[in-house]
Structure 1
Amino acid sequence: MTDIVPRIRTARRAGLLACVALCALLAAAVPRARAQDAAPGPEAAPAAPAVSAAPAPGVPVLRISVENGPTHFQVKALRRFAEDVRQRLAGRLRVEVYDNASLYRDRDVLQALNLGRVEMALPGTWVLHSAVPDCGVFMLPALYGAPARASLAVADGPPGRIIDARIERNLRVAVLGRWLELGHANLYLVDRAVHRHEDLAGLRIRVAGGPANELRLAAMGARPLVVPWPDLPHWLQGGNLDGLMTTHETAVSGQLWRYGVSHVFEDHAYFAMYVPLVSRMFWERLPGDMRDVLRDAWEAHVDEARALAAGAQAEARETLRARGLVFAVPDEAVLRRWRERLRLGEREVVDFVGVDPTLYETVKTTAWQAEQASPD
């Protein structure tokens, strides 16, 4: 893995940064498409920002912008949170949930929050990485193939609070509370069985974003490409991709079997999460008791939302099996061996991705302790 980082750095310096470019060199043999959509949500669709109806005089409005569609577990959880807040702050706060990117796509929502153009959003860690590099820690070698409890221990523990503080500082937002989970990302292949990591050599794999994802796949011999989600069917049907990295629920929502996806390599590449952000401009205008209500209401729904996510991913897995997709599941010993192999060059990767090395050491300890603990 150590020889890949310098090659990627050289290629990035030489690449043309065109807004709609689809390919640029990631390394000598690793093509890279320029990201136009970093979010993996299958139900996200391009949309112009919607205009909210005028609120009642003197009543603040909390607009929540998300990319996923109304059936997604994230949106369901948000609507329950919104209804709870409405009841707790009856007449004092108007809460509106805008799904399906009807306000902003996640790639644009960070700036909107910063400027106070929207009040709340839940971008994924893969989106936040561009503004807060430490969010990329979940995609680094120490968490490859690790169980969900390892990443959740990091997010809920001291490392997560450090990342929260850096998010708040860099983006002029308030982190409302604990993060929601999306689930493990895996590899989904087109008309090709991948039974072991070595079978990935030379395969063109779409990723949602994050240089750590690209580096990891390149280290396995694959050719990572960042392709916008709306363009994915065209790329798959045109034979330009051999597979992609996403989650079970996303694969079902996108009906990927319609585009030739027939095999799953369930390697638990990384654990994806959503971070609840509130615009600081909005947050600072609220009285203290309303802030407390928002935090309390959010905390009251986090565990339920996480359970919804886990259930949705499990149900989606069974749906994929019912659709005829063939699963290959590396055992834990194999995943641990590959994790150690990937860690051989992890210091260079940490530096390249931009994660604080001291934070990464804390993350490794936290994740290891959580992995050794009982799943209960």
Structure 2
Amino acid sequence: MTPRLSRRRFALASVAAILAPAFVRSARADEPMRLRLSLDTAPSHLRNVSMKDYLGKVEAASNGKIKTEIFESGQLYPDLEVGKALIQGQVEMAAPGSWTITGIVSDADCFQLPVLYGQPIDLIHRVIDGKPGQYLNAQIQQKLRSHVLGPYLDLGFQNWYSANKPIAGLADLKGMKIRNSGGAGQAWRARFLGAIPNTTAWPNVPLALSQGTFDGLVSSNESLVSAKLWDSGVKFALEDHQFIAEYIPLLSQVFWDKLSPDQQKMMTDVWAQNVPTYRANMAAAQTKARATLEAHGIKFSDPTPEQSAAERKRMVAEQDQMAKEIKVSPEMVKLIMAEASSGS
């Protein structure tokens, strides 16, 4: 080998070594960003259907620069644990029920306030889309290190369901062990009515119910249908619209900060454009689900508006003490009372 040839090869090798990191950085820059969504409900659940639709639209609008994956049925985390996963950056996206994050953001339990018991959906939307919702979002941003994508997704009104004991009114719940989805507010309402609260993660509900771990549960018509809980023994329902469950669309701050301003705007806009349809679909599904439950032999009871108003008044008398107990801040109570008063 001639000295000239050797020097040339050395020079080429040196240039390659210098340029290699740049090529690696360029290749990494061209790789799509990974967005994993964790849900603990089954693929047939309309939360899953809605979020899957959203992710598909995001992938398309990102021109392949964001690659989405959905992990369902608690494959990654149950909702009761996904808040911590968001804080730690272990998952990019989730849509947990507000009740599942109350251990971290206590004001997320505000939907349990007695003033909202049995109230119409329009009032609830004024609360979550208005100043109370903005106040809650600021706390979520700070405590969960997560970005709230936009308006919440309605799961639907929550009611009481029983495996064996008929429940024609709230008085029938006395002495029953009632499963709830989490949060001090649901436990407070059960105790207020003389029931015994139990918290069980949703993926474990069918087996626990069939084994008699609890006598009944708080949930929604659609959720019962998605899990076919008539097979687990549910026979009765009291549809009192005690509160409306809301899913909060969250992106980990770590992931959000990686997005360009244009990508952040795109994800925000796509959600805003589609959430009214998702909400309407969820409401229709709850109505359809009731018919499905009745077709499987579940007997429903419905309080009159006057009965609901009387029960709400009875609960509101203890609202201030209840708010202290479940750690909903005086400021949040004040904001929600203002919205409730403006609609009366």
| TM-score, with structure 1 as normaliser | 0.80
- Residues 175 and 234 (structure 1), Cα distance of their counterparts in 2 relative to 1, 3 Å cut: closer
Segments ≥4 residues shifted beyond 4 Å: none
* Structure 1 position 348, deviation (Å): 1.4
The reply on whether 1:186 has 2:178 as its aligned counterpart is no
- Describe the SS at the equivalent of 1:273: strand
For 2:250, give the aligned amino acid: L
The reply on whether 1:263 has 2:236 as its aligned counterpart is yes
- Residues 227 and 97 (structure 1), Cα distance of their counterparts in 2 relative to 1, 3 Å cut: closer
Give the helix-richer structure, 1 or 2: 2
- Describe the SS at the equivalent of 1:261: coil
- Could you say which residue in structure 2 is the equivalent of 1:113? 86
- Residues 67 and 228 (structure 1), Cα distance of their counterparts in 2 relative to 1, 3 Å cut: closer
For 1:210, give the aligned amino acid: G
- Could you say which residue in structure 2 is the equivalent of 1:134? 107
* Structure 1 position 132, deviation (Å): 0.5
- Describe the SS at the equivalent of 1:244: strand
* Structure 1 position 217, deviation (Å): 1.5
Q: Deviations over 1:89-113 (max 9, x none)?
A: 1032222222222222222222221
Choose the corresponding residue for 2:38, options 41, 53, 65: 65
For 1:161, give the aligned amino acid: Q
For 1:338, give the aligned amino acid: E
Choose the corresponding residue for 1:251, options 224, 228, 231: 224
- Could you say which residue in structure 1 is the equivalent of 2:141? 168
* Contact 2:40 2:203 (C-alpha < 8 Å) held by counterparts: no
Mapping 1:310-321, distance limit 5 Å: 310-321=283-294
Q: Distance in 1 between matches of 2:49 and 2:79?
A: 18
* Contact 1:141 1:346 (C-alpha < 8 Å) held by counterparts: yes
- Residues 261 and 312 (structure 1), Cα distance of their counterparts in 2 relative to 1, 3 Å cut: same
* Contact 2:41 2:203 (C-alpha < 8 Å) held by counterparts: no
Q: CA RMSD in A?
A: 1.7
- Could you say which residue in structure 2 is the equivalent of 1:36? none
- Could you say which residue in structure 2 is the equivalent of 1:76? 49
Q: Distance in 2 between matches of 1:295 and 1:172?
A: 17
- Residues 71 and 228 (structure 1), Cα distance of their counterparts in 2 relative to 1, 3 Å cut: closer
* Contact 2:174 2:193 (C-alpha < 8 Å) held by counterparts: yes
* Structure 1 position 259, deviation (Å): 2.7
- Describe the SS at the equivalent of 1:350: helix
Mapping 1:143-292, distance limit 5 Å: 143-292=116-265
* Structure 1 position 58, deviation (Å): 3.4
- Residues 291 and 231 (structure 1), Cα distance of their counterparts in 2 relative to 1, 3 Å cut: closer
* Structure 1 position 271, deviation (Å): 0.5
* Structure 1 position 171, deviation (Å): 1.1
- Describe the SS at the equivalent of 2:125: helix
* Structure 1 position 331, deviation (Å): 0.6
- Describe the SS at the equivalent of 2:243: strand
5+ long unaligned stretches in structure 1: 1-54
Q: Distance in 1 between matches of 2:83 and 2:210?
A: 32
For 1:84, give the aligned amino acid: K
* Structure 1 position 57, deviation (Å): 4.7
* Structure 1 position 56, deviation (Å): 8.4
Q: Distance in 2 between matches of 1:181 and 1:102?
A: 23
* Structure 1 position 258, deviation (Å): 2.0
* Structure 1 position 230, deviation (Å): 4.5
- Residues 114 and 270 (structure 1), Cα distance of their counterparts in 2 relative to 1, 3 Å cut: same
For 1:349, give the aligned amino acid: M
* Contact 1:150 1:368 (C-alpha < 8 Å) held by counterparts: no
Q: Distance in 2 between matches of 1:249 and 1:307?
A: 13
* Structure 1 position 228, deviation (Å): 3.7
- Describe the SS at the equivalent of 1:278: strand
- Could you say which residue in structure 2 is the equivalent of 1:97? 70
- Could you say which residue in structure 1 is the equivalent of 2:322? 349
Q: Distance in 2 between matches of 1:244 and 1:208?
A: 9
* Contact 2:149 2:251 (C-alpha < 8 Å) held by counterparts: yes
- Could you say which residue in structure 2 is the equivalent of 1:306? 279
Mapping 1:12-51, distance limit 5 Å: none
The structure number with the bigger radius of gyration is 2
- Bigger mean CA deviation after superposition, 92-101 or 159-168: 92-101
Q: Deviations over 1:120-176 (max 9, x none)?
A: 110110112111111100011111111222222110111101100110011111111
Choose the corresponding residue for 1:332, options 284, 305, 319: 305
For 1:86, give the aligned amino acid: E
- Could you say which residue in structure 1 is the equivalent of 2:20? none
Aligned length: 317
- Describe the SS at the equivalent of 1:137: helix
- Describe the SS at the equivalent of 1:186: strand
Q: Deviations over 1:27-81 (max 9, x none)?
A: xxxxxxxxxxxxxxxxxxxxxxxxxxxx985321222221122221111111221
5+ long unaligned stretches in structure 2: 1-27
For 2:46, give the aligned amino acid: F
* Structure 1 position 227, deviation (Å): 3.0
* Contact 2:155 2:282 (C-alpha < 8 Å) held by counterparts: yes
